[in-house]
Chain A
Amino acid sequence: MRLAIDSARCTGHGRCYSLAPGLFAPREDDGNGKVLFDDVPPELRAEAHRAANSCPELAIQIREEATDD
């Protein structure tokens, strides 16, 4: 699973880093969200979806990738 924040849409609500601090953090200069891992560890996948569904700007993109396992 890959995660990205669309910086053109993010306006710094901060829902992602409040709800999923293991995956996101605020940028120092403006408080907008940044992704800590773009490749999400399996145990944090539910958290990634939760953050994406809670973003008021719909700025979080999740791409599921086919895996062999």
Chain B
Amino acid sequence: MKIVPNFDNSSDDGLLRWGFEEWDRLRERYDAFGSDRVPGRTAWVLMRYADVHAAFQDPCLFSSRYQKPFLNEESLHQWIPVETDPPEHTKYRQAMNPHFAPHRIAAMEDDIRTTCRESLEVVARRGGCEFMDDFAMRFPTSVFLNMIGLPSSDTGTFLGWEQQLMHNDAKTDPHGKLRQEAMQSIYEYLDAVIAERRSSPGDDILSDLTRSEIDGRPLNHNELREMSFMLYMAGLDTTASTLGFALLHLARNEEHRSLVRNDETMVPPFVEEVLRLYSIVSTGRVVTRDADFAGCRMKAGDRVLVATGPANRDPRQFENADRFNPYRDPNRHIAFGAGPHRCIGSHLARAELRVALEEWHRVIPEYRLAEGTDIRWRPGGIAALDRLPLVWD
């Protein structure tokens, strides 16, 4: 049995230093392996496309109840719908899906574009920015607030909580106190908004959800708060991180920069290739029964890390898998997962990424990495660049 002692994707030194290339090495060396990080059970790490795809499509063998395979603690919360399983999951998705369907997102596009221009206006004047903080986080946060009908003046508050929640680790926050506090603040904020939307609904997604039903009854308060928290968590860092990898790639590649700048029809396939080559999400599952899977002897109660990063760079699935090819066709990547838990926000994410690339290049057509920049990867469930300093003339 292949065991990598104490492996944890959020603190692994190789991933921290080498990012996606380290995932490639791990995948080619092991196919799949186990970690003994948490005593008493094994956390299996799936990296090949076929294995990751099969795991996503099998919610009976792989439950979504706990998302963090390397944490030895159980959350008091159950985020909806990500931490539920069929048949409950199916009902929640049926209630939520219409609000994230393509025609709903298309109707929001003008607002998304306006929000993007506002976020850009601030940085464009400067001649340089720290892309992650100054634009990549700010833009999706403002879109999210807009979607749930809140003023974008609250963006700073939300970003502060996000920072406190996502960017603390065992060193900076050994007992998880800061993270707990941030989570508490977010829940309290959302509680107030949900109560308000119930009494005076608007035309935002949260109001729509207060009117949604499952099993012939309206969603209750707890369901609504777990859903809105999930939307907050899933919608901000993911889009921000992907934008970071897109701009890093473009800053280093003049040919692709001019392609994206000069031909907006190339933006959607460019976005797909960014999603494939820089797939940031590694999610978790719980093994429900003893099974041999991906060459691993799994036991009921074991955990699984399902890593889309190495899966979407698997040479068994993609030709020249580690090369960026904006003309790649077909591009059957699973950056948004697959199976019943396929990312509900994928149409929104694609719209945000496309609009951001279009608008950025209209305002800032030429740019480069600031000299002496040390690019560092922040590994974890949502991998991201730590910083991305860009400059332009």
Which A residues lie at the B interface, using CB under 8 A?
A: 11-15, 17-18, 26-31, 50, 53-57
Q: In the complex the two chains form, what is the Cα distance from A46 to B332 in whole Å?
A: 17
Chain A hits for B285, CB < 8 A:
none
Chain B hits for A13, CB < 8 A:
336, 338, 342, 346
A57 touches B347 (CB 8 A): no
B98 touches A18 (CB 8 A): no
Checking B102, B338, B347 against A11 with a beta-carbon cut-off of 8 angstroms, the contacting residue is B338
Judge if B103 is at the interface, Cβ distance under 8 Å.
yes
From A14, A27, A31, A53, residue with most partner B Cβ within 10 Å: A31
B102 touches A14 (CB 8 A): yes
Tell me how many residue pairs across A and B have CB atoms closer than 8 Å.
56
From A28, A29, A54, A56, residue with most partner B Cβ within 10 Å: A56
A50 touches B338 (CB 8 A): no
Give the bracket for the number of chain B residues in contact with chain A. 20 to 34
Judge if B101 is at the interface, Cβ distance under 8 Å.
yes
Which B residues lie at the A interface, using CB under 8 A?
A: 53, 57, 94, 97-98, 100-103, 268, 329-334, 336, 338-340, 342, 346-347
Checking A17, A18, A29 against B97 with a beta-carbon cut-off of 8 angstroms, the contacting residue is A29
Checking A26, A54, A55, A56 against B102 with a beta-carbon cut-off of 8 angstroms, the contacting residue is A26
On whether A26 and B103 interact (CB within 8 A), knowing A18-B268, A57-B57, the answer reads: yes
Chain B hits for A17, CB < 8 A:
102
Q: Could you list 21 A-B pairs, sorted by A, with CB under 8 Å?
A: A11-B340, A11-B342, A12-B97, A13-B336, A13-B342, A14-B346, A14-B347, A17-B102, A26-B101, A27-B101, A28-B98, A31-B98, A50-B330, A53-B330, A53-B332, A55-B332, A56-B53, A56-B334, A56-B338, A56-B342, A57-B338
Shortest C-beta distance, B339 to chain A (Å), equals 6
Interface of chain A: mostly helix, strand, loop or mixed: loop
A11-B340, A29-B97 given; 18 more Cβ-contact pairs under 8 Å: A11-B339, A13-B338, A13-B346, A14-B102, A15-B332, A26-B101, A26-B102, A30-B94, A30-B101, A31-B101, A31-B102, A50-B330, A54-B331, A55-B332, A56-B53, A56-B332, A56-B334, A56-B336
A57 touches B102 (CB 8 A): no
Q: In the complex the two chains form, what is the Cα distance from A27 to B102 in whole Å?
A: 9
Chain B hits for A56, CB < 8 A:
53, 332-334, 336, 338, 342
The 8 closest A-B pairs by CB, nearest first: A31-B101, A53-B330, A30-B97, A11-B342, A54-B330, A26-B102, A56-B338, A56-B334
Chain A hits for B330, CB < 8 A:
50, 53-54
**Residue ID in chain B nearest A30 by CB atoms:** B97
